[in-house]
Amino acid sequence: MNAYLTLQDIRPGQNRYRSYIIKIETIDIGNNHSYVVKLIWGRIRGKKRILSYVCSNLDEIRSLLRPILKTRLRHGYRLVDKSENFPEYGILDKFQIGQLTDSNQLFLFQ
């Protein structure tokens, strides 16, 4: 499984241009399938931070992502992109749908 989710919080009046990406990739460790969950966040067009977790099943991934998604929702992030095979979470329905930021819109903020 290769899945991703992209969240953004853009508020020009507050000079706020944030991005939060969650990627889930399947890896083989020995004879077992495991998952790597990568959290990538930072300022849009800026330096990013990356944190990776190894999970053995989808339940572990759900437990890991539940508080993260709740926090992003509380902080005003919008859902801008999601792969079809990203695991379903009820909280994703609560996110407002945003649009991917056109790189031309941000040329002033490089």
Instruction: Report whether 47 contacts 70 (CB < 8 A).
Output: no
The pLDDT tens digits for 49-104 are 999 999 999 999 999 999 999 999 999 999 999 999 998 888 888 888 886 555 44
Average pLDDT over residues 4-10: 95
Closest CA to 18 of 61, 62, 49, 51: 49
Whether 28 has a pLDDT exceeding 90, the answer reads: no
pLDDT at 100: 57
What DSSP character marks residue 97?
A: B
Domain residue extents for the chain: 2-96
